[in-house]
Structure 1
Amino acid sequence: MIVPPRLIVQRAQKSSSDKGRQVRINGVRAKNAINGVRVIIASSYFYSDPVYSGCYHDRQIIQTACSMEKSPIARFYGELKRRKVLRVGAVYAVVSWVVVEIASVMFPELLLPDWSVRLVIALLVIGFPVALVLAWAFELKPEGIRPDPGIVADPADPSPAKEEDIALPPKEGFDSVAVLPFLNLSNDPDNEYFSDGISEELLNRLCKLPQLTVASRTSSFSFKGKDVDMGTVAGQLGVDAILEGSVRRSGDRVRISAQLIDGRSDRHLWSENYDRELTDVFAVQDEIAKNIVDALELSLTPAQRQLIRREETTTNIDAYDFYLRGRYFVERGDVDTGQKMFENAIEVDADYALAWAGAADCHSWRCMWYEVSPESKKMADECSLKALQLAPGLAEAHASRGYALTANGKYADAEVAFNTAIDLDPQLYEAHYYAGRAYFSQGKMREAADAFKQANAVRPDDPTSAALRCTALRTLGDETELAVAGKRCIEIFERHLALNPDDALAWSRAAVDLVLFGDSEKGLEYADRAYKLKPEFCCYNVACAYVLAGKTDRALELLEQHARKGAVQKDWLARDSDWDAVRDDPRFKAIEEIVG
């Protein structure tokens, strides 16, 4: 069900039933009874889908409504309370009274001059405004006294606040965060892989918490090297808080600086510097993750605390260094170099389970996107099995095993591996996503749609899982659910492509959805753009867009080209409903024979 955009503001009686009730808008909790004004908001689209229920998509409306919340005097009074100025004043007055009483009794007994008591009173009076000013300007935190960067509007200024100056009401907590790529401050620019790796490790740890929505790596890293203020970043990523920092590596030492910033007020929630031996980098990551959780005031179960303090499967810093290099290259699409780095890590530490899993994923990835070769399938199987033997309690090892089993067509065993990974870590995106692909390849479309839905719940800004869910729903013939999922999918693609204009795979998948939902002209334009960026990587999706648009000749030409490279998966092609209209075409049957 889709509710049309509307904003209704009506007077309401303050009652116990209204007091404290909450509405939730784009991750922002706000009172629905504000100074006697009840705000009923529905904007953009409201999804009845359980994963997205209660999520409205227009931050602007709640900002406008909240701007009616308080008068300038009330806002100033609220700022006095927030900065604890009133509390400091009250405590100062009480302490001053006690000091004066003691001086009045003790000074005469000590034979001090009569004017000495008056001097004490005068000094206390002079110190009162000084104490208030200091209370206004500084915050007392566990790490010491820090400046308070919050800004309060001038109550004497009657001019209306600008849209960007309107503050949201204080939240009870934070429920979304983005981890920006840490700056590489090392003398060697080639150490960028290390700073990126630290950022990704922290992002992955925070992703394990279901009560916290974490912007995906792709979205967060789109701001790398850009000079953008934190408010803009938070707005574009739709998060409450931003984690940023820097890494300086020199010899066997590393300095990591991290700071957590409120994306709405630009106020520092927490910051810390860590000067450690390089071998202590694992402990530093644990400390940072714990401090972020504490700063965001999240309540964790013992199991969740253990998840963010993941036990490392190596203590060898050289092996870890190669592992980070491998991740760095794989994220940039250089699977061959990434695989080599994982193999180097294994040479240094043959018991490094994550390195074995990384190598297995490279072989499985090659089967999925480039060439389904017997050698790649064999290596994916062997490496993933080794990772599982070394670390049977590691969710990533089970997910990697499931991925390799899928590449080898052993779907029943793959399902068991994915389910085990999800039991160990319910927030592991890869387990849900690749389970969806395994279900799809078997024709289990309902299970596939549900798995892609869960993957998208873990990463709400991920276009891939959203797009494949639409494909599964279309194959099922579930038009009602497809209409809702499709509209949301296109919105995700628009935001993603605005941040990542060079993502060829995203362009190609967006092309399929646009054609599917009636905009063939724009869809084919997207398809052509994707093909120009990376033809070998998105050829299959581009072909799907063309066949859905009725351009059969071009679609079959691209599909045959991709099939002759050994890059088309037989089971996937057999289940993909995009090709239903041409399955009886002799040219398509010839391609099926090529695929095998």
Structure 2
Amino acid sequence: MRALWFELKRRNVLRMALAYAALCWLLLQVADLLLPTFGIPPWVMRALVLLAVLGFPLAMMFAWTYAWTDRGLQREIPAAPASAPATESPSADPIAASIAVLPLVNMSSDKEQEYFSDGLSEELLNLLAQVPELHVAGRTSSFSFKDTQATIAQIGQALNVATVLEGSVRKSGAHVRITAQLIETRGGYHLWSQTYDRQLTDIFAVQDEIAAAVVAALKLKLLPSHQPSHAGHHLPGPDAYNHFLLGRQFLNRATEEGFRRAGEEYRKVIALEPTYAAALAGLALADAYAADYTQTDAQMLALRAQARATVDQAVTLDPTLGEAYTARAVLRFVFEHDWEGGASDFRQALHFNPGDVMSLWQYSRLLAAQGKLADALTQAQAATRLDPLSAQAWEIQSRYQIALGDFAGARAALDRALDIAPEHGRAPVGMGLLYLLQGDAATADHWYARADNATFRLCGQTMAAFSAGHEAASLQALQELTDTQAHTSAYQIAEAFAWRDQRDDAFAWLQRAIVQYDAGVQYIKYDPTLRNLHSDPRYRVLLQRIRLPLD
């Protein structure tokens, strides 16, 4: 019944029913007053009532099939769906071949099944992102429209897309019903819609059918190798797939608890189906990030080594899986300082999945680490175009603008990030650095105090207090930083010492960061807080040690 209710609302049938009833009531009231005045026999009134009753189903059928739009009468026009608040579009005209995949509505009786509907939405998004000819809005932006109110037109404007894919999922035991519809964002009319009643064992075939239908509706002429499909990849059974979708949901949370639970779910998948490469790639990322929360350096390095072995297995099992290459690229450049290996994997990832936002902004980080800031900025800007409502994407873009001296551009990007997510933890750090570099230590300290991470907060406060001439406060923050964050944040401690121009200490902590494979080492070439180290011969030695170019 909830699925039917969804369709009735979507097609404006309920609105038509109310309007029809109100109009008939008004006409019958007028007729009741006027007919006796003109001596018209009573059977005419009875006939009018009968016509009103008989006309009701006809009106409902018309509402189900047609609606008026700014293009005239069109078939199957949906009502405005639940979506995110409107955001200004970066362009007045949407990209012609472009789409946003909205979260499918969970129509199952069990609300705990929402991971399944969200997971299918993400799977469809990833499938369509394989098509080079199609601009696919990123997950963060598309999912920001969940459980909020905006029209299809507003969604199109916010994401700069010409079409939206929306629908619903009802899962009951081994049976699933998926309703999907492709809607043009300006006129609001349907390009295509379909309902699928299948068993869970057919779920991948349904995804392929939906992706193919979208491509056909958009009249895209694709090369055979560009057809979105699961062909050639391992297709897990229903139990394994359920655990896989849960693992992805936890991994997307990007928290200590999320990484731990993601690892648990992915291990359940692999216990059922050891050759499922997508699950192995997810497990590798979950373990690599969970390593930051271990208690000792030995535990951290051991878990990351395990993650590397896992992702190597994923690539070996499925050498055409883009997400496996992305996972290995991240492990290579972030945790092993293998820049060339990471670049090679990113090229493979973007070959198989050219529209993947995560690959784009992660690749930008590698390019920046190599000192290729202009190229990094280009990749980051491509990511923000695809995912314009991702605060993380805008914050990452700002890093390169700061390093290039484009403070106005960086400020705009950070403002955008904070407008999207006022509680974003890293954007205040970027703001703090921006003001610090411009000589406004008081405002920098204000922004650093808003950081949600103790490491970044204490590092920033150390630097801001030093620049303000508050030596005691700077030393106090630095002492707390070294006492509490040495295990996981050697790089940020090095930044604090470098800003204070304590070069010996800065180099000692940078050496420790390299030994620990601290993720912060990727910033060593373009980090403005380390610039006073560049003239020291020890700086070039460090770059050679981690195989980064010297110029």
> TM-score normalised to the size of structure 1?
0.61
CA contact 2:105–2:168 (8 Å) conserved in 1: yes
SS in 2 for 1:225: coil
**Corresponding residue to 2:364 among 422, 432, 436:** 436
Residue 408 (1) aligns with residue 336 (2): yes
**Corresponding residue to 2:264 among 326, 329, 340:** 340
Residue 358 (1) aligns with residue 272 (2): no
Q: 1:80-126 CA deviation, whole Å, 9 max, x = no partner?
A: xxxxxxxxxxxxxxxxxxxxxxxxxxxxxxxxxxxxxxxxxxxxxxx
Residue 218 (1) aligns with residue 140 (2): yes
- Which one-letter code corresponds to 2:123 in the other structure? E
CA contact 1:436–1:452 (8 Å) conserved in 2: yes
Residue 316 (1) aligns with residue 237 (2): yes
SS in 2 for 1:393: coil
**Corresponding residue to 2:315 among 388, 393, 397:** 388
SS in 2 for 1:313: coil
CA contact 1:361–1:400 (8 Å) conserved in 2: yes
Q: 2:186 corresponds to which residue?
A: 264
**Corresponding residue to 2:219 among 291, 297, 314:** 297
Q: 2:499 corresponds to which residue?
A: 581
CA contact 2:449–2:461 (8 Å) conserved in 1: no
Cα distance in 2 for partners of 1:409, 1:518 equals 33
Report the alpha carbon displacement of residue 324 of structure 1 after superposing the two structures with TM: 0.5
Cα distance in 2 for partners of 1:517, 1:148 equals 57
Q: Which has the higher relative contact order, 1 or 2, with Cα contacts under 8 A spaced 6 or more apart?
A: 2
Q: 1:205-240 CA deviation, whole Å, 9 max, x = no partner?
A: 233334433332222222322243333333333433
**Identical-residue share of aligned pairs (%):** 29
Report the alpha carbon displacement of residue 276 of structure 1 after superposing the two structures with TM: 0.5
Cα distance in 1 for partners of 2:94, 2:161 equals 15
CA contact 1:540–1:559 (8 Å) conserved in 2: no
SS in 2 for 1:504: coil
CA contact 2:322–2:350 (8 Å) conserved in 1: yes
Cα distance in 2 for partners of 1:320, 1:367 equals 25
Q: 1:540 corresponds to which residue?
A: 456
- Which one-letter code corresponds to 1:365 in the other structure? Y
| Residues 1:419 and 1:235: Cα distance change in structure 2 (over 3 Å) | closer
Q: 2:14 corresponds to which residue?
A: none
| Residues 1:392 and 1:312: Cα distance change in structure 2 (over 3 Å) | closer
Q: 2:535 corresponds to which residue?
A: none
Q: 1:107 corresponds to which residue?
A: none
**Corresponding residue to 1:188 among 110, 119, 139:** 110
Q: 1:112 corresponds to which residue?
A: none
| Residues 1:261 and 1:425: Cα distance change in structure 2 (over 3 Å) | closer
- Which one-letter code corresponds to 2:336 in the other structure? N
SS in 1 for 2:148: coil
SS in 1 for 2:103: coil
Cα distance in 1 for partners of 2:272, 2:176 equals 21
SS in 1 for 2:337: coil
Q: 1:242-267 CA deviation, whole Å, 9 max, x = no partner?
A: 22211111011001111222333333
Cα distance in 2 for partners of 1:560, 1:493 equals 30
Cα distance in 2 for partners of 1:226, 1:172 equals 22
Report the alpha carbon displacement of residue 318 of structure 1 after superposing the two structures with TM: 1.6
CA contact 1:314–1:351 (8 Å) conserved in 2: no
Q: 1:18 corresponds to which residue?
A: none
Residue 490 (1) aligns with residue 417 (2): no
- Which one-letter code corresponds to 1:176 in the other structure? S
Report the alpha carbon displacement of residue 195 of structure 1 after superposing the two structures with TM: 0.5
Q: 1:299-347 CA deviation, whole Å, 9 max, x = no partner?
A: 4333321x45564322322211111100111112311101111111100
Q: 1:245 corresponds to which residue?
A: 167
- Which one-letter code corresponds to 1:358 in the other structure? G
Q: 1:43 corresponds to which residue?
A: none
| 1:27-426 equivalences in 2 (<5 Å) | 146-151=65-70, 174-305=96-227, 307-309=228-230, 311-333=232-254, 334-367=258-291, 373-406=300-333, 407-426=335-354
Task: Please list every run of 5 or more consecutive structure 2 residues that lacks an aligned counterpart in the other structure.
Answer: 1-57, 74-85, 87-91, 469-473, 516-551
Q: 1:552-585 CA deviation, whole Å, 9 max, x = no partner?
A: 5576467536632x32365x987x7x98533526
Cα distance in 2 for partners of 1:232, 1:439 equals 35
Cα distance in 1 for partners of 2:294, 2:160 equals 34
CA contact 1:490–1:514 (8 Å) conserved in 2: no
CA contact 1:242–1:260 (8 Å) conserved in 2: yes
> TM-score normalised to the size of structure 2?
0.66
CA contact 1:323–1:345 (8 Å) conserved in 2: yes
SS in 1 for 2:165: strand
Cα distance in 1 for partners of 2:218, 2:462 equals 47
| Residues 1:299 and 1:543: Cα distance change in structure 2 (over 3 Å) | farther
More helix by share: 2
Cα distance in 2 for partners of 1:327, 1:581 equals 39
Report the alpha carbon displacement of residue 431 of structure 1 after superposing the two structures with TM: 3.1
Cα distance in 1 for partners of 2:400, 2:235 equals 39
When the two structures are aligned, how many residues end up with a matched partner? 425
CA contact 1:364–1:380 (8 Å) conserved in 2: yes
Cα distance in 1 for partners of 2:361, 2:174 equals 38
- Which one-letter code corresponds to 2:349 in the other structure? A
- Which one-letter code corresponds to 2:196 in the other structure? Y
Cα distance in 2 for partners of 1:496, 1:412 equals 34
Cα distance in 2 for partners of 1:468, 1:579 equals 24
Q: 1:271-321 CA deviation, whole Å, 9 max, x = no partner?
A: 22111011111111111122222333334333321x455643223222111
SS in 2 for 1:427: coil
SS in 2 for 1:300: coil
Cα distance in 2 for partners of 1:312, 1:149 equals 44
